[in-house]
Structure 1
Amino acid sequence: MRNNLLLILLVFSITCSFAQSKERRDKIKSLKVAFLTERLELSAKEAQQFWPVYNDYENKRDALRKKERTQIRSKIRDAANLTEKEAANLLTQYLSFEEEEEELDKSFLKDISKVISAKKTLLLLRSEEEFKRQLIKQYRHNKGGGGGPR
């Protein structure tokens, strides 16, 4: 009986953790949309064309990174136990993912620059970096890190 209760509590806490994680991701996404819309000063017409292209890119990039994490990053942690041949194969896979990500980025920049001006495209790149920095700063602040080394 006690084991069942512990199992139920464990499943419940994991479920809550996933729900909180999804809520957090959704909140961050909403903040990012507002941040980019404001920074880029998108007109209604631009926004209507911009967001489908941007969201498609984000979805493809997220899927690629998830695939990389499951197929490569998890194995890199265990690199000391790999044979040289396995390590070489893993390195080849890693380079392939890097190339795929670079191609995705190039394709996105070509596509998005058809929707918004070159100047706004550059502003998008800068704004994404600024958003990441603000997110990290906020995370450190919330965790009590103060942003500096400990």
Structure 2
Amino acid sequence: MNKLSKIGALLIIMLVFASGYGQRRPAQERIKTLKVAFITERLNLTTDEAQDFWPIYNAHEQNLEALKRQERREIRSKLIDFENLSEREAADLLQQSLELEREKHKLNMQFMDKISQVISAKKAFLLIKAEEDFKKRLLREIQQRRRGNR
């Protein structure tokens, strides 16, 4: 792919990305932008792949974020006062937590089914690895900044 095509693909990706995440805080926006660039570089997506890939990826990320918000709202907020929960309330929270985990698993399975139709199986595995590598890199940078601020 020539340089102009890569720039065009990156611009398309950024536009798709920006339209889906316009209401986030600046730090979250920056992290998301870095993540998109990291994944784009690692997967070496063609222009056509990028046009199909990013809408599916962004929708998946939004669905996962909605589940995380639900988890924070329905489960973690109640765990703050964990010592005062009855056994029955704890059992109910555990069932809710398990159901949310099942839903996350279902979403991930559906995502992999969809994404494997637009990118190769090898790139699908590269995506999994790229996301893990990005998380590790982000955690390392956060730890280094914390050490530097002490």
TM-score with structure 2 setting the length = 0.81
* Amino acid in the other structure paired with 1:75: K
> Using the alignment, how far apart are the partners of 1:141 and 1:83 within structure 2?
41
2:139 is matched with which residue? Answer: 136
Which sections of structure 1, spanning at least 5 residues, go unmatched?
A: 1-20, 146-150
Measured against aligned partners, the alpha-carbon deviations of 1:29-52 in whole angstroms (never above 9, x if no partner) come to: 110110000000000000000000
SS at match of 2:92: helix
SS at match of 1:144: helix
Runs of 4+, deviation exceeding 3 Å: none
SS at match of 1:38: helix
> Using the alignment, how far apart are the partners of 1:41 and 1:126 within structure 2?
14
How far has the Cα of 1:76 moved from its partner? 1.9
Asked if 1:96 corresponds to 2:99, the answer is yes
> Using the alignment, how far apart are the partners of 1:25 and 1:127 within structure 2?
18
1:34 is matched with which residue? Answer: 37
How many residues align? The count is 126
> Using the alignment, how far apart are the partners of 1:103 and 1:76 within structure 2?
25
In the TM superposition, what are the counterparts of 1:99-138 in structure 2 within 5 Å? 99-138=102-141
Aligned counterpart for 2:48 among listed residues 37, 45, 49:
45
Asked if 1:71 corresponds to 2:85, the answer is no
> Using the alignment, how far apart are the partners of 2:58 and 2:143 within structure 1?
27
> Using the alignment, how far apart are the partners of 2:87 and 2:141 within structure 1?
42
**Identity score, percent:** 48
How far has the Cα of 1:132 moved from its partner? 0.3
Measured against aligned partners, the alpha-carbon deviations of 1:79-127 in whole angstroms (never above 9, x if no partner) come to: 2101111111111111110101110111101110011000000000000
Measured against aligned partners, the alpha-carbon deviations of 1:48-97 in whole angstroms (never above 9, x if no partner) come to: 00000000000000011011011101112322101111111111111110
> Using the alignment, how far apart are the partners of 1:115 and 1:49 within structure 2?
6
Which sections of structure 2, spanning at least 5 residues, go unmatched?
A: 1-23
1:17 is matched with which residue? Answer: none
